[in-house]
């Protein structure tokens, strides 16, 4: 399709983020988000979305604005209907499909998501719809699912996009799919998968309609921080040219990555608090996982420090993280009891002794089990062959 990128931008995902910030952000964040949300609604003639926000109590009712949106939306929809009728009478199948798609785009843009989904699905089922048109429609349906955060629709359309891409999707669409899936995996707490996708498409990221490069780096870097080995964080994230280009826009994320790599744990805890306030608590995709994320990152910091010593005092550990001894004692006790940290706390002596798991013994036991399974299968196979 000649202008596939057009409907990849509607509805604007930034508006869904503004709505989220109004509800969950600080008073300053909420005020700024409110201003941008209203501006976006007016610009895109989002009458249906506006009506929904008024019903939800996110926006106050404004009769004059509502009338203006209704009139502007009706005029543009009528224009699109005329173009579609003209295409049916005077043009071929491709032109008709393009006009139908533009009409569906406008329905999505104004907030008529159910009607847009139905229109998109009708077009994608047409035998005259090309592979690239189908892919772009799937991306549009994906965008609607992400705008209103409907996990079942998102996963269904991601699976469908993979099928279509494997049939001959071009590089641009493959890369766009990776970026979308990276953000989606973050929202599902699948940080390992998200980090892999982030590294794959970082150098070729070209999806500003999804989010800005700075926001994409923020989400991807946070996914990497929780799962990626320390040496790889330096090579693949901190030193990546695309990260360096925008890292000044997300200073708390930069500080988190660098302090973890440099083992500056007091700075690390300060940066983690900043990340929670500035990013996790206001991100539509990470908000639900903010407590899980901060817990996992604290565990990572403790484990990294403990790996360097056979034993150390609770006082020195508390000093390293810039917290009280009582705080460290409670944290370690909780994580040791749950099996997340391998150490023993000597409360009387005020010492923490590392108790690393015996990996060689674990590998030996795994080999024995796998060997037994192999022998059992060979015996069954030999019995079948003899018969």
Instruction: Specify the 3-state DSSP secondary structure of 352.
Output: strand
Task: Give dist(CA 181, CA 163) in Å, integer.
Answer: 14
Query: How high is the pLDDT of residue 8?
Result: 55
Structure tokens belonging to residue 91: 């043009």
- Dihedral (Cα; 32, 37, 43, 47), 10-degree rounding: -150
* pLDDT value for 3: 40
Which residue from 54, 44, 37 is spatially nearest to 77, judged by alpha carbons?
44
Q: Which residues pair with 353 in a beta bridge?
A: 311, 344
Distance (Å, whole) CA 257 – CA 81: 52
Q: Mean pLDDT in runs of 10 for the chain (387 residues)?
A: 51 92 87 93 94 93 93 93 86 82 92 92 89 89 93 93 86 90 95 96 89 94 95 93 94 96 95 94 93 96 91 92 93 91 87 72 62 76 67
Token pair, residue 305, equals 């420090």
- Collapsing DSSP states into helix, strand and coil, what is residue 358? coil
Residue closest to 313 by CA, chosen among 323, 302, 325: 325
CA atoms within 13 A on the CB side of 80: 17
Taken in order 277, 279, 284, 289, the sign of the CA dihedral is negative
Residue 217, CA distances (Å) to 54, 223, 227, 239 in order:
33, 10, 15, 13
pLDDT of residue 132: 85
Q: Measuring CA to CA, how many Å separate 212 from each of 179, 248, 258? A: 11, 14, 22
For residues 283 and 281, give the distance between their C-alpha atoms in angstroms, rounded to a whole number. 6
- How many C-beta atoms surround the C-beta of residue 334 within 10 A? 13
On whether the CB atoms of residues 180 and 192 are closer than 8 A, the answer is no
- The number of CA neighbours under 13 Å toward the Cβ of 373 is 6
Q: Output the pLDDT for position 4.
A: 42
Residue of 67, 88, 90, 70 whose CA lies nearest to 78:
70
Start-end of H helices in 25-130: 27-43, 47-56, 63-90, 93-110, 113-124
Structure tokens at 127: 């035998």
Q: Is the dihedral of CA 204, 208, 209, 211 positive or negative?
A: positive
| Maximum C-alpha span of the chain | 89
For residues 214 and 205, is the Cβ–Cβ distance under 8 A?
no
pTM: 0.83
Beta strands in the chain (DSSP E): 311-313, 343-346, 351-354
- Which is nearest to 285 in space by CA: 182, 206, 207? 182
Cα-Cα-Cα-Cα torsion 121, 123, 127, 133, nearest 10 degrees, comes to -100
- Closest C-alpha to 111, from 148, 156, 82, 64: 148
Q: What does the domain layout of the chain look like in residue ranges?
A: 1-149, 170-290
Among 242, 254, 167, 164, smallest CA distance to 198 is for 242
pLDDT at 73: 93
Q: What is the pLDDT of residue 7?
A: 46
Q: Report the pLDDT value the prediction gives residue 276, as an integer from 0 to 100.
A: 94
């Amino acid at each position: 399709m000649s202008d596939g990128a057009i409907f990849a931008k509607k509805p604007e995902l930034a508006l869904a983020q503004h709505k989220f910030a109004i509800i969950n952000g600080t008073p300053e964040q909420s005020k700024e988000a409110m201003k941008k949300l209203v501006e976006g609604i007016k610009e895109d003639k989002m009458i249906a979305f506006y009506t929904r926000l008024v019903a939800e109590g996110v926006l106050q009712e404004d009769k004059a604005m509502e009338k203006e949106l209704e009139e502007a939306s009706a005029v543009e929809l009528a224009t699109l209907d005329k173009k579609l009728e003209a295409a049916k009478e005077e043009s071929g199948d491709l032109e008709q499909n393009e006009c139908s798609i533009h009409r569906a785009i406008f329905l999505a843009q104004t907030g008529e998501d159910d009607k847009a989904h139905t229109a998109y699905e009708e077009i994608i089922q047409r035998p005259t719809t090309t592979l690239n048109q189908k892919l772009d429609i799937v991306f549009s349906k994906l965008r609607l699912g992400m705008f209103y955060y409907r996990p079942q629709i998102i996963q269904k359309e991601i699976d469908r996009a993979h099928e279509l891409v494997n049939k001959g999707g071009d590089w641009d669409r493959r890369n766009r799919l990776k970026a979308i899936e990276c953000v989606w995996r973050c929202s599902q707490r699948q940080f390992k998968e998200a980090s892999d996708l982030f590294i794959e498409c970082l150098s070729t990221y070209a999806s500003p309609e999804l989010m800005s490069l700075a926001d994409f780096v923020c989400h991807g870097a946070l996914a990497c921080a929780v799962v990626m080995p320390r040496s790889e964080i330096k090579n693949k994230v901190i030193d990546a040219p695309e990260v360096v280009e925008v890292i000044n826009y997300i200073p708390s994320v930069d500080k988190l990555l660098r302090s973890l790599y440099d083992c500056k744990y007091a700075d690390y805890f300060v940066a983690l608090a900043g990340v929670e306030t500035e990013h996790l608590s206001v991100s539509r995709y990470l908000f639900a996982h903010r407590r899980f994320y901060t817990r996992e990152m604290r565990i990572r910091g403790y484990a990294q420090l403990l790996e360097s010593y056979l034993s150390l005092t609770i006082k020195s550990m508390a000093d390293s993280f810039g917290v009280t001894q009582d705080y460290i004692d409670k944290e370690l006790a909780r994580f040791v009891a749950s099996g997340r940290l391998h150490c023993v706390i000597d409360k009387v002596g005020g010492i923490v002794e590392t108790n690393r798991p015996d990996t060689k013994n674990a590998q030996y036991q795994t080999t024995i089990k796998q060997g037994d399974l192999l022998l059992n299968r060979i015996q069954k196979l030999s019995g079948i062959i003899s018969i």
